[in-house]
A and B are shown apart, each in its own frame.
Chain A
Amino acid sequence: MRFTLHIWRQENARAKGHFETYEIDNISPDCSFLEMLDILNERLINDRIAHPVCFDNDCREGICGMCGLYINGRPHGNDDGITTCQLHMRKFHDGDDIWIEPWRAKAFPIIRDLVVDRSAFDKIIQAGGYISTTTGGVPDANSIPIPKHKADMAMDAASCIGCGACVAACKNASAMLFVGAKVSHLALLPQGKIEAADRVKRMVAKMDELGFGNCTNTYACEAECPKLIKRQNISRLNRQWIASLFGRDRNS
């Protein structure tokens, strides 16, 4: 297969970026999207055309959340429930024009080319996205039974990989699905209920501070989430937030 690639190139955070066009040929339809970029980079290096295109990737099996490209108007490309590394070239047509852009959000500054800094997500988690435990001194694992459907819902919310596709897809660059998933995961479990009010307050405050937008109920996040995390989690986040306004918590 052959493609015309339009790739965002930007040397570093301060540089002004631009699109560069590359032609690429002889790509197998079984090739993954990132392997196609590997092939391009190989050529850029061998023929001394340019510095290879930088893009984040690691596990290449859809779980680490490292990769994330905005491909032809969709985060992670034109398929549902996948990360960029799980996108295969058979999803494209021979001769296609492919536009590849980095995630765009104030909270995700560009590092180089298609690599962005997502440490904002870590900061939100550090603000309270955990259950405060220290090692040891915890009760037996089976001492608190958890209804299966609750555990399953918590699991679905917890499957977030922190890739940032929700922010990239949202017209407001909102992180509500990411925050909603973590708040839901922990609020659904008895262990997480104790700090629930405090947690949601701190995480939302941090989210606002970092410059993410508001949710305006477009649900592009849900459509693009590689782990198919549902918008019900945003609803639960809102519910938790309202409850926290009336509930008692450590800081008030």
Chain B
Amino acid sequence: MNIPKIHSISKKIFVALLGVFLSIFLLFHAAANLCILRQDGGAWYNAFCDFMGTNYVIKVFEIILLGAFLLHMVLTIWIAFTNRMARPKGYHKAQRSKTHTGSKLQVWTGILIFVCLLLHFMDFYFVKIGLVNGNLNFYEQAHEKFQIPHIAISYLVFFVVVWFHMRHGFAAMFQTLGLYNYKYGKAIEIFGIIFATVVCLMFTAVVVGVYFGL
């Protein structure tokens, strides 16, 4: 079988574009979550979940999203693998160059996100598609889960990890897509941090809000 040749930079561009896609999804996800904080007994939120659960366009979109997620992962692992191959024998002395630590953590935060995501799916997504038994009323489900301290804390840790992943990913995405330059370099980095912070704060707000019964 012929594996189509994808050049190193193209691979990275795919990863970056998928990253953009996933970031936008996260923003919407976070925005939707904020409905939980409405004092309406979950009316808005459940209506929203209902729509998400039944609309066919959304179902197709769901598959695309999952695909994007998996592809983002597969490509990065492929890249990480070729990167390992590029230096068969390492240095005795650990690197002391001034570097962006985000990049070194990126694979690990990525893996961590994957694990957290599986746990997150156990609570919600897998329930929806019927893989796991649970409360299909996600408004109640959320209240149930987030009020258990260790779950709430785990989620907060999850968001911190997502923040790190997004912060580096955002700046790296601009670099990979060739948009980083002398003029806007700093601004792009700051924008990335703001974006990651806003999204993560939105998620955090829901968990913290539910925990304290707001």
Q: Are any A and B Cβ atoms less than 8 Å apart in their complex? A: yes
Are A174 and B86 neighbours in the complex by a CB distance under 8 Å?
Answer: yes
B54 at the interface (CB under 8 A from A): no
Are A216 and B83 neighbours in the complex by a CB distance under 8 Å?
Answer: yes
A106 at the interface (CB under 8 A from B): yes
Interface size on B, residues (CB 8 A): 43
> Given the interface contacts A173-B86, A174-B83, A214-B83, does A238 sit within 8 Å of B100 by beta carbon?
no
Which one of B148-156, B170-178, B206-214 is at the interface? Answer: B170-178
Complex: how many Å from CA A220 to CA B99?
Answer: 5
Which B residues are CB-close (under 8 A) to A74?
A: 95-97
Which A residues are CB-close (under 8 A) to B93?
A: 70, 72-73, 99, 101
Are A216 and B8 neighbours in the complex by a CB distance under 8 Å?
Answer: no
B181 at the interface (CB under 8 A from A): yes
B185 at the interface (CB under 8 A from A): yes
A236 at the interface (CB under 8 A from B): yes
Are A238 and B91 neighbours in the complex by a CB distance under 8 Å?
Answer: no
Are A214 and B99 neighbours in the complex by a CB distance under 8 Å?
Answer: no
Which one of B9-17, B57-65, B66-74, B120-128 is at the interface? Answer: B9-17
Which A residues are CB-close (under 8 A) to B96?
A: 72-74, 78
Which A residues are CB-close (under 8 A) to B182?
A: 230, 232
Are A214 and B97 neighbours in the complex by a CB distance under 8 Å?
Answer: no
Are A106 and B88 neighbours in the complex by a CB distance under 8 Å?
Answer: yes
A127 at the interface (CB under 8 A from B): no
Complex: how many Å from CA A140 to CA B96?
Answer: 48
Which one of A37-45, A52-60, A84-92, A202-210 is at the interface? Answer: A202-210
- A-B pair number, CB within 8 angstroms: 138
Which one of A20-28, A129-137, A239-247 is at the interface? Answer: A239-247
Which B residues are CB-close (under 8 A) to A113?
A: none
> Please, which residue of chain B has its CB at the minimum distance from the CB of A200?
B9
A212 at the interface (CB under 8 A from B): yes
> Given the interface contacts A106-B86, A217-B172, A232-B182, does A238 sit within 8 Å of B99 by beta carbon?
no
Are B95 and A73 neighbours in the complex by a CB distance under 8 Å?
Answer: yes
Which B residues are CB-close (under 8 A) to A162?
A: none
A185 at the interface (CB under 8 A from B): no
Which A residues are CB-close (under 8 A) to B87?
A: 104-106, 171-173, 213
A3 at the interface (CB under 8 A from B): no
Complex: how many Å from CA A52 to CA B150?
Answer: 62
> Please, which residue of chain B has its CB at the minimum distance from the CB of A205?
B7
Are A171 and B7 neighbours in the complex by a CB distance under 8 Å?
Answer: no
Complex: how many Å from CA A105 to CA B90?
Answer: 8
Are B99 and A232 neighbours in the complex by a CB distance under 8 Å?
Answer: no
> Please, which residue of chain B has its CB at the minimum distance from the CB of A243?
B178
Are A232 and B181 neighbours in the complex by a CB distance under 8 Å?
Answer: yes
A107 at the interface (CB under 8 A from B): yes
Are B171 and A212 neighbours in the complex by a CB distance under 8 Å?
Answer: no
A235 at the interface (CB under 8 A from B): yes
Are B95 and A219 neighbours in the complex by a CB distance under 8 Å?
Answer: no
Set B11, B85, B94, B177: member contacting A211, Cβ < 8 A: B85
Which A residues are CB-close (under 8 A) to B92?
A: 6, 8, 19, 99, 101
- Supplied contacts A78-B96, A208-B7, 7 more A-B pairs, CB within 8 Å: A104-B87, A173-B86, A214-B8, A214-B12, A216-B79, A217-B102, A218-B99
- Residue pairs across A and B with Cβ atoms less than 8 A apart, 17 shown, are A72-B96, A104-B87, A104-B90, A104-B91, A171-B87, A171-B95, A211-B86, A213-B82, A214-B8, A215-B12, A217-B168, A218-B99, A230-B182, A235-B178, A235-B179, A238-B177, A241-B9
